[in-house]
A and B are shown apart, each in its own frame.
Chain A
Amino acid sequence: MNKYLERIVDALDIETFVICRDEDEGMDIIRKMMGEMGLKDVDIVFCQHRGPGARIRARGYIFRSGDHYGWLKEAE
Chain B
Amino acid sequence: MGKKVVLAPLDPVHDIGLKMIRRGLEQAGHQTWLFPPDYSPQEIVNGIIEHKADVVLISRTLGYGVEEILARFVDLVDAAGVREKVKLGVGGMAIRAELAAELGFDAGFGPGTPVEAAVAFVEGREFKPSREGTEKKKIDMVGTYDYSFNNASIKAMLDNITNQIIEWSAKRSSPGVERAQLREEILKQEGLGRDTASLRKEYAKLCDDVIADYYTKGSLHAQTRGLEQAELDSLEQYVERTRARMRPLDIRHTRKKPAVFVQYGTGCPFMDIAHIKIAEGWGADGVVHFDPSWGARTEGFLEGYLTHQQDGSVITPENLRCIRSALEESSLWQVRAHRGLNTPETVVLAGECGADLTKINIVYGALGAGTDPSRLTVDAVAAIKYAARYNLPFDVVTNEELCGVPAHKAFAGMLIVANLALALGAKPILQPLFCYSPEVMINKAMEDNYIDFNAAKLIALRQIVDAPIWPGAPIGFLTQNEDRVQSSVSTGLHAGLAASLGVDAISIASADEAYSGGPIAGASRVDTLQSVRETFRFMGQAKIEPTRQAEDMAGELLAGIETALRETVQVGDFVAALHEGVLGNRDEGAYPGRSGKDTVTGG
Contacts and interface: CB of A to CB of B under 8 A. Distances in A.
B282 A17 contact: no
B282 A50 contact: yes
Contact of B523 (A16, A22, A44, A50): A16
Contacts of B246: 50-51
A16 B511 CA distance: 12
The 4 closest A-B pairs by CB, nearest first: A50-B281, A51-B281, A17-B522, A51-B246
B526 A55 contact: yes
B321 interface: no
Contact of B247 (A15, A17, A44, A51): A51
19 contacts: A15-B484, A15-B523, A16-B521, A17-B521, A17-B523, A17-B526, A19-B274, A48-B112, A50-B246, A50-B247, A50-B282, A51-B246, A51-B248, A51-B278, A51-B281, A52-B277, A52-B281, A53-B278, A55-B282
Contacts of B96: 44
A40 interface: no
Interface of B: 96-97, 112, 242-243, 245-249, 274, 277-278, 280-282, 484, 521-523, 525-526, 530
Interface in A37-70: 44, 48, 50-53, 55
A17 B245 contact: no
Given A19-B274, A51-B277, A51-B280, 20 more contacts: A16-B521, A17-B522, A17-B523, A17-B526, A44-B96, A48-B112, A48-B526, A50-B246, A50-B247, A50-B249, A50-B278, A50-B281, A51-B242, A51-B243, A51-B245, A51-B246, A51-B281, A52-B278, A53-B278, A55-B526
Contacts of A15: 484, 523
Interface of B is mostly: helix
A32 interface: no
Interface string A1-31: 0000000000000011101011010000000
Contacts of B522: 17
A50 B243 CA distance: 10
A18 B566 CA distance: 55
A53 B281 CA distance: 9
B526 A52 contact: no
Nearest to A16: B523
A25 B246 CA distance: 16
A19 B97 CA distance: 21
Nearest to B525: A17
B515 to A, nearest CB: 13
Nearest to B280: A51
B519 to A, nearest CB: 13
Contacts of A22: 245
